[in-house]
Amino acid sequence: MFVFPFFWTVSSSLKSPRDILTYPPPLLPAVFKWSNYPDAWTTVEFGPYFLNSTIVTGATVIGGTASGLIVAYGFARFRFPMRDALFALCLSTLMLPPEVTIIPLYVIFKNLGWLDTLTPLIVPSLLGGGAFTIFLLRQFILGLPFDLDEAATIDGASKLRILFDVIVPNAKPALAAAAVFSFINHWNEFFQALIFLNSKKNYTIPLGLYSLRTYAGDPGEPKDQLLMAGSVIATLPIIVLFFAAQRYFVQGIVTSGLKG
């Protein structure tokens, strides 16, 4: 039942425009129109978009998860004045709809000369990776016993060393999860890319997908089946990544052995 929408996406991506509107809808296309895939690929120039999305996503997943881990470590393992208030402030950045902050943000990036470049999609994420990542990793670190840190401290390890030698090995599942979520978020990010990018050469995949949407007043033919093909193409890297990251999710958590 959960696979059905995806199955339907794939099936529709192989249909002719006419198949899409027949009733009852055929589960499989009458003729498999494989040419929808190369058509989708060339219609939106997926090549450069893939490269752009890969740059943005690669940089933000690695940089964001790493810096998010550092920040989460700070929130989880240190006591300092205003810590909870600062943490609430961090979470609060998720609460304001982006529509009302987009104009001042746009002005900042304009003054930095970053408009129509990939920079505004990358740099802010390198600084902590966003509240979602920080919160997720903080929750996870709080689930690790403090004994581990103390034992390392007695051995003379610095706080940074503890992060890398104690927390990271134990936090692999959470880091993998955070990286996957970050990947999905940035791979599919649409609103900021729409506002900050102008030139086609700088477009990311979601912008390419949206340009396959069909509107009543558009010249040219309806492209619904191409949109489906495009979205299958766009989703494939995430599926591959998810498969690759699977073993980290299930990798048992080492802490269990240290208890009691």
Partner 1 sequence: MNRHMTRRAVLELVLGGSAAALLAACGQAAAPTAAPAATSAAASTSGQASKPAAAAPASGGAAAEIVFWPRSPSESQVVWEKIIPIQQKMFPELKVNLQAPPEDFNGKFLVAFAGGTAPDSGVTGLSAFRSYIGKKMLKTIQPYVNSDADVKKMLQDDYVPSATLGYSLKGELYATPTVSEAVVVFYNKDAMTQAGLTPPREIDDDKSKWNWDTFVEYAKKLTKGTGFRRERFGAMVTFARDTFGVSQSWGNFSYARGARFLDPDGENWTFTGKEAEESIQWIVDLIYKHDAHPDVGEAASANVLDRAFFQNGQVAMVSEGEYFSRYLWGTGKPSNGIPFAYDIAQMPFNPTTGKRTNIYHGNGSFLTTQSKNPDATWKWLRTIFSQDAQQVITNFWGTRGAHRGTYDSWLKSFGNGGPPGINVQAIVKADADTYPFPTTPYLTPQALLEPTMRVMYDNVFQNKQKVADGLAQIDKETKALLEKGKAELPK
Partner 2 sequence: MAARAVALPAWRSLTPARRREALQGLLFISPWLVGFLAFTAYPMLASLYYSFSAYKILAPPVWVGLRNYAYAFNGDPLFWLSVQRTVIWVVVTVPLGIFGSLLAAVLLNRGLKGTNLYRTAFFLPSLTPTVAAALLWTWILNPRFGIANAAIEGLTGLRGPNWLADIDWALPSLAMISLWTAIGGNRMLIFLAGLQGIPQELYEAARVDGAGPIRTWWNITVPLISPAIFFNLVLGIIFSFRVFAFAFVVTEGGPARATYFYALHLYTMAFRSFDMGYGSALAWILFLTVLVLTVLNMQLSKRWVYYESLR
Q: By CB under 8 A, what part of segment 36-75 binds partner 1?
A: 44
213 Cβ neighbours under 8 A, 6+ residues apart: 223, 227
| CB burial string 168-193: b at 16+ within 10 A, e below | eebbebbbbbbbbbbbbbbbbbeebb
> At its nearest, how many Å lie between partner 2 and the CB of residue 202?
19
The smaller minimum CB distance to partner 1, of residues 35 and 251, is found at 35
Omega cis (within 30) before 24:
yes
Rounded to whole angstroms, how far apart are CA atoms 62 and 2? 30
> Pick from 104, 156, 252, 260: which binds partner 1 (CB under 8 A)?
104
The smaller minimum CB distance to partner 2, of residues 35 and 93, is found at 93
For the chain, how are helix, strand and coil distributed in percent, rounded to 5?
Answer: 70, 0, 30
Residue 88, interface with partner 1 (CB under 8 A)? Answer: no
User: Per-residue x/- marks for partner 1, 185-224, CB under 8 A?
Assistant: -----x---xx--xxx--x---xx-xx-x-xxxxxxxxx-
The option from partner 2, partner 1, none interacting with 115 (CB < 5 to 8 A, set by class) reads partner 1
- Give me the sign of the Cα torsion angle 126, 131, 136, 140: positive
Rounded to whole angstroms, how far apart are CA atoms 111 and 109? 5
> At its nearest, how many Å lie between partner 2 and the CB of residue 60?
12
> At its nearest, how many Å lie between partner 1 and the CB of residue 111?
4
Distance of CA 141 to CAs 72, 137, 180, Å? Answer: 8, 6, 18
The option from partner 2, partner 1, none interacting with 151 (CB < 5 to 8 A, set by class) reads none
The smaller minimum CB distance to partner 2, of residues 35 and 139, is found at 139
The option from partner 1, partner 2, none interacting with 241 (CB < 5 to 8 A, set by class) reads none
**Residue 68: CA count within 13 A, CB half-sphere:** 31
Q: Which residues bind partner 1 (CB under 8 A)?
A: 16-18, 21, 44, 102-104, 106-108, 110-113, 115, 190, 194-195, 198-200, 203, 207-208, 210-211, 213, 215-223
